[in-house]
A and B are shown apart, each in its own frame.
Chain A
Amino acid sequence: MVLSANELTLGYRGQAVVSNVSFHVAAGDVLAVVGHNGSGKSTLVKTILGTLPLIGGELSWHGGVPSEIAFLGQRSEFDTRVPVRLRDIVEMGAWSRLGFAGRIDPAGRAAIEAAMERTGTAAIADTPLHMLSAGQLQRALFARTIVQDAPVILLDEPFTAIDQSTEADLLALIDQWSGEGRAVIMVLHDLSAVLQHCHAALLLGRGTARFGPLDTTLTPANLVDLAYLTPSQAAWQERMFSRDVDSLSGGGDV
């Protein structure tokens, strides 16, 4: 177990946004966090990062608070007009280990190059930031996350406005992190194929939370209960889903 949360109450300046949040993450787990706007997803992210104090409950890091949590925020917060190149963004992943004036050693250089190779950005390493597409920038930020080499990785809506091939490449990387025994927590904006790569889900909404395996947590009943879907949307999804299952099982039987 890496992180467990017991009956958390989260919010700002004593004002609760969501309560009864309990979940746990083990090494190698990929946890999806899902919820409507204002359900407390960002509040949870800040609380895990330690930038926002808990209002109530208990958040325990087993084996100590990790020295580094690799965090990848929403791209709307990112300023691409600063005169730096893609390579500099990836290097930022190594800065916290260097202190004020330390230089990146050859091993660190090699790690940065390898991360750019892995994410398919080595060929555009010297491209200025403002010339990058959304997908290229996200690949660079994943490379930065690799360089951070952290036991816990926290991703806030990493696939919003990203093309499908980039999404597929980056999901393979998340699978790899999971295989390496890193704990990955991923906030998702919509229910998508991304969920296939997750082991558990934390559903936030209406001031409360549900946690568990995907198929028992993201049920139509829960999604309606926690205001993620309206009843008619849930009914439609269920119809589409059962048709899928029917056609699959029908194909298998014949």
Chain B
Amino acid sequence: MFEWLEYEFMLRALAATSVLSFSIAPVGAFLVLRRLSLAGEAMAHAIVPGIVIGFVIAGLSVASMIIGGLAAGITVALLTSLLARFTIIREDASLASLYLISLALGIFILSAAGSAVPLKSFLFGSILGMDDETLYLIGATATVTLVSFALILRPLVTSTIDPVFHESRSSRPGLVVHWFMFLVVLNLLGAFKALGTLMAVGLMILPATAARYWVSTLTGYLVLTFLFALASCWAGLVLSFYASEVPSGPAIILVAGAIFFVSVLFAPQGLGFLRRRRPSPR
């Protein structure tokens, strides 16, 4: 029953996703609270051509992936805000347009270059992909993310709840927001090997959304989001191990999806089917 524990690639994948859960959970939690879930989704697709170009030029190295991914992410973010400011199209439509172009460009380049990496594992992740470099990347991502959160937690909370209050007392109010979006891109890159470019953002959003149904305090929210992310990764990896044709990304996200639906149905702040019916809540 536990024969998957005997394979090194499984142990690597379990270790990698455990560390990843520590850092992707708080990022996802604030992405959801800041109502940026869809922007995060768009950003995940927008960074694909950067990763691909880095890959085509320099091979599957972590450095090229990070440089390419960050460059693509920043370019799309800047273009989006320029288009929203200077043309009639709103931010959501320009972001959607740009990320679709970006994603198509990435897949086009990857296919045209006759890549050695199968498209399937690029898009949906692979349980086999956890080489040393990937483990270092995830370790570094988690370190940067957790140290950053220790530093920006208070202004981040303030600007999430009461943005004008945050602006009134900070000399550079935009700094926290930009740093946070950098952490989003960094964690998407960290998650890319295990989950694939299409599924990485799911581990950011689904555990955070599911956890919100259960808790009313910030500490509780962050802890539960982490536990849901961890459980999704472990169960998803085992699922992918037995159904060997199934890439790890969809397997992990489906487990996260199951947790989400259970939460919707039974959690106190969801539909609350476990709760005794009371007169309508305020």
Q: Which residues of A contact B (CB under 8 A)?
A: 49, 51, 68-69, 71-74, 77-79, 81-85, 88-89, 92, 95-96, 98, 100-101, 128-129, 131, 133, 154
Given A83-B212, A84-B157, A92-B158, is A51 in contact with B167 using a C-beta cutoff of 8 Å?
yes
The chain A residue with its CB closest to the CB of B161 is A82
A83 to B30, CA, bound (A): 11
Beyond contacts A84-B161, A128-B216: 10 other A-B pairs, Cβ-Cβ < 8 A, are A68-B169, A69-B169, A71-B165, A74-B164, A79-B161, A79-B162, A82-B33, A92-B161, A100-B154, A128-B217
- Confirm or deny: B221 has a beta carbon within 8 angstroms of a beta carbon on chain A: yes
The distance from the CB of A91 to the nearest CB of chain B, in whole angstroms, is 10
- 9 A-B contact pairs sorted by A residue (CB < 8 Å): A69-B169, A73-B168, A77-B162, A77-B163, A79-B160, A83-B215, A84-B217, A84-B218, A92-B158
A95 to B176, CA, bound (A): 15
Contact of A78 among B157, B162, B168, B173 (CB under 8 A): B162
Residues on A with C-beta less than 8 A from B33 are 79, 81-83
- Confirm or deny: B178 has a beta carbon within 8 angstroms of a beta carbon on chain A: no
Chain B residues 150 to 198 lying within 8 A of chain A, measured CB to CB, are 150-151, 154, 157-158, 160-165, 167-169, 173
Q: Are B151 and A78 in contact (CB under 8 A)?
A: no
The distance from the CB of A145 to the nearest CB of chain B, in whole angstroms, is 10
Q: Are A83 and B169 in contact (CB under 8 A)?
A: no
The winner among A71, A83, A131 for most chain B CB atoms within 10 A is A83
Residues on A with C-beta less than 8 A from B161 are 78-79, 82, 84, 89, 92, 129
Chain B residues 139 to 154 lying within 8 A of chain A, measured CB to CB, are 150-151, 154
Residues on A with C-beta less than 8 A from B221 are 83
Given A77-B162, A77-B163, A78-B162, is A96 in contact with B217 using a C-beta cutoff of 8 Å?
no
Q: Are A83 and B163 in contact (CB under 8 A)?
A: no
Residues on B with C-beta less than 8 A from A84 are 157, 161, 216-218
The 10 closest A-B pairs by CB, nearest first: A71-B168, A73-B164, A128-B216, A83-B221, A49-B168, A77-B164, A95-B154, A82-B161, A96-B169, A83-B216
Contact of A73 among B157, B158, B165, B218 (CB under 8 A): B165
Interface 1/0s, chain B 205-216, versus A by CB < 8 A? 000000010011
Q: Are A71 and B169 in contact (CB under 8 A)?
A: yes
The chain A residue with its CB closest to the CB of B29 is A83
Residues on B with C-beta less than 8 A from A92 are 157-158, 161-162, 165
- Confirm or deny: B282 has a beta carbon within 8 angstroms of a beta carbon on chain A: yes
Residues on A with C-beta less than 8 A from B157 are 82, 84, 92
Residues on B with C-beta less than 8 A from A78 are 161-162
- Confirm or deny: B59 has a beta carbon within 8 angstroms of a beta carbon on chain A: no
Q: Are A88 and B218 in contact (CB under 8 A)?
A: yes
Q: Are A69 and B218 in contact (CB under 8 A)?
A: no
Contact of A82 among B150, B160, B167, B173 (CB under 8 A): B160
A81 to B35, CA, bound (A): 10
The chain B residue with its CB closest to the CB of A84 is B218
A71 to B173, CA, bound (A): 15
The distance from the CB of B94 to the nearest CB of chain A, in whole angstroms, is 21
The distance from the CB of A111 to the nearest CB of chain B, in whole angstroms, is 17
Given A89-B161, A95-B154, is A83 in contact with B218 using a C-beta cutoff of 8 Å?
yes
The chain B residue with its CB closest to the CB of A100 is B151
A71 to B215, CA, bound (A): 29
Residues on B with C-beta less than 8 A from A73 are 162, 164-165, 168
The chain B residue with its CB closest to the CB of A99 is B154
Residues on B with C-beta less than 8 A from A83 are 33, 212, 215-218, 220-221
Q: Are A95 and B158 in contact (CB under 8 A)?
A: yes
A74 to B163, CA, bound (A): 11
The distance from the CB of A157 to the nearest CB of chain B, in whole angstroms, is 12
Q: Are A85 and B217 in contact (CB under 8 A)?
A: yes
The distance from the CB of A53 to the nearest CB of chain B, in whole angstroms, is 13
The chain B residue with its CB closest to the CB of A95 is B154
A84 to B151, CA, bound (A): 19
Q: Are A69 and B151 in contact (CB under 8 A)?
A: no
The distance from the CB of A202 to the nearest CB of chain B, in whole angstroms, is 19
The winner among B33, B163, B164, B173 for most chain A CB atoms within 10 A is B164
The chain A residue with its CB closest to the CB of B30 is A82
A101 to B6, CA, bound (A): 43
Contact of A101 among B150, B216, B218 (CB under 8 A): B150
Residues on B with C-beta less than 8 A from A77 are 162-164
The chain A residue with its CB closest to the CB of B215 is A83
Q: Are A131 and B282 in contact (CB under 8 A)?
A: yes
Residues on A with C-beta less than 8 A from B212 are 83
A101 to B149, CA, bound (A): 11
A154 to B165, CA, bound (A): 11
A131 to B158, CA, bound (A): 19
Residues on B with C-beta less than 8 A from A98 are 154
Residues on A with C-beta less than 8 A from B216 are 83-85, 128
